[in-house]
């Protein structure tokens, strides 16, 4: 692919109310391509044997992935209350939700939105690559400034921990727009 316009490694932080001893770090590499693609590489370092990781399946749409280990991306056009939520599970299941405002919406079971998901795992690392096609969300998404939220729900034998780029509230809430803290500018935008 030609025309990559953004690339950033970002650390996710564990919410203070859900501490864990198993995960050392979660980082996300974000790449925006001029062709209207966003690629996310989630890298979890820790003791994978203590995590509940869903087994690989054929990629398909599935709801409520956030109840188990999954990685999440929230995409809003800058200044707009509407947003999309993508869930990517290590099983390669996926979900896309659309919201007109805070938690006002539901799932989009549309195969056109299916992300490409690749998973790699070792004893101390889990990586998940996901590619989202922005033009499947709307014709204006590829050229828009985007506010992005990055998060993860990690299920260990001891319980769940909640990770995000920013935790604006006392309880984990990935839908809070103040957590959409990564601005991705469109191709050709002056820096």
Taking Cα atoms as reference points, which of 30, 33, 31, 29 lies closest to residue 2? 33
- DSSP secondary structure code for residue 186 in this structure: P
- DSSP secondary structure code for residue 137 in this structure: T
Give the 3-state secondary structure of residue 49. Answer: helix
Architecture of domain 4-184: Sandwich (2.60)
Model confidence pLDDT, tens digit, residues 112-146? 999 999 999 999 999 999 999 999 999 999 999 99
- DSSP secondary structure code for residue 175 in this structure: T
Give the burial class of 12: count Cβ atoms within 10 A of its Cβ; 0-12 exposed, 13-18 middle, 19 or more buried.
Answer: buried
Prediction pTM value:
0.94
Residue ranges per domain, the chain?
4-184
The Cα–Cα gap between 174 and 152 comes to 9
Residue position matching structure tokens 């025309």 = 3
Tokens standing for residue 89: 């599970």
The Cα–Cα gap between 155 and 53 comes to 8
Model confidence pLDDT, tens digit, residues 41-96? 999 999 999 999 989 999 999 999 999 999 999 999 999 999 999 999 999 999 99
Beta strands in 15-158 (DSSP E): 23-33, 37-46, 60-61, 70-77, 83-88, 93-101, 104-107, 116-121, 125-133, 146-156
Taking Cα atoms as reference points, which of 72, 67, 100 lies closest to residue 86? 72
């Amino acid at each position: 692919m030609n025309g990559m316009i953004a690339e950033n490694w970002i650390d996710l932080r564990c919410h203070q109310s859900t501490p864990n001893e198993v995960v050392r770090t979660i980082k996300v590499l974000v790449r925006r391509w001029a062709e209207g693609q966003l690629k996310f590489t989630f890298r979890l370092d820790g003791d994978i044997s203590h995590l509940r990781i869903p087994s690989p399946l054929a990629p398909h749409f599935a709801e409520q992935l956030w109840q188990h280990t999954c990685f999440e991306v929230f995409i809003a056009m800058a200044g707009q209350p509407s947003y999309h939520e993508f869930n990517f599970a290590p099983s390669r299941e996926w979900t896309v939700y659309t919201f007109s405002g805070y938690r006002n919406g539901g799932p989009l079971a549309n195969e056109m939105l299916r992300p490409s998901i690749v998973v790699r795992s070792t004893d101390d690392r889990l990586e998940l690559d996901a590619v989202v096609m922005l033009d499947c969300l709307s014709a204006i998404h590829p050229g828009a400034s985007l506010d992005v939220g990055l998060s993860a729900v990690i299920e260990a034998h001891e319980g769940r921990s909640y990770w995000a780029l920013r935790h604006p509230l006392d309880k984990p809430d990935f839908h809070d727009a103040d957590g959409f803290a990564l601005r991705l500018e469109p191709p050709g935008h002056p820096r």
